[in-house]
Amino acid sequence: MAQHYLMAESFEGGERAYLYPLEDLLAFEGVPVWSHCLLPDLHDAICPSCSECLEIDLCHTPPGTRRRDPHASVRKLNFKGPTLTGVRPAAPADLQPLASRLYRMAVNAGQSAAAEHLTYLFGRTTCPSCAADFSVPEQIEAFYS
């Protein structure tokens, strides 16, 4: 039933409205991590190279990665914070099976904003401390598993 709803071409709503039921579908299927990490959000991660605590900001335009700010409450007031290094979207052909399925569902439903978000969520980024390049989904999975 959820699948049918998600495939409906007449589906209207923002990317969050589309991604929420996708999370429900993954929860129903018992998929760990991604059943609560699909939305554009801040994700905690640890740099696999230098172990710096990082924050991958998928709400930011364009999405980026920053060191975790110990003064986060200040940042929210000022909208200032450490510099972001970019998140590079994955090419749709390079997406892993789960991400590829979600991407195709979003594209088929005409949800281009949600589809684009998924390419960033399953893309790569650079550690702002040591400049190591790493996979966004691998580090999100490592942090939340």
Enumerate binding residues for Zn ion (CB under 5 A): 47, 49-50, 52, 127, 129-130, 132
Q: Which is nearer to Zn ion, 78 or 83 (CB)?
A: 83
DSSP, collapsed to helix, strand or coil, labels residue 79 as coil
C-alpha separations of 85 from 17, 95, 114 in Å: 28, 21, 22
User: Which residue from 117, 105, 116, 98 is spatially nearest to 39, judged by alpha carbons?
Assistant: 117
Nearer to Zn ion, 23 or 138 (CB): 138
Closest CB 51 distance from Zn ion, rounded Å: 7
Q: How far is the CB of 52 from Zn ion (least distance, A)?
A: 5
CB-based contact 124:136 (threshold 8 Å): yes
The residue among 49 and 108 lying less far from Zn ion, judged by its C-beta, is 49
Provide the minimum distance between the beta carbon of 44 and Zn ion in the complex, in angstroms, as a whole number: 14
Q: CA 119 to CA 116: how far, in whole Å?
A: 5
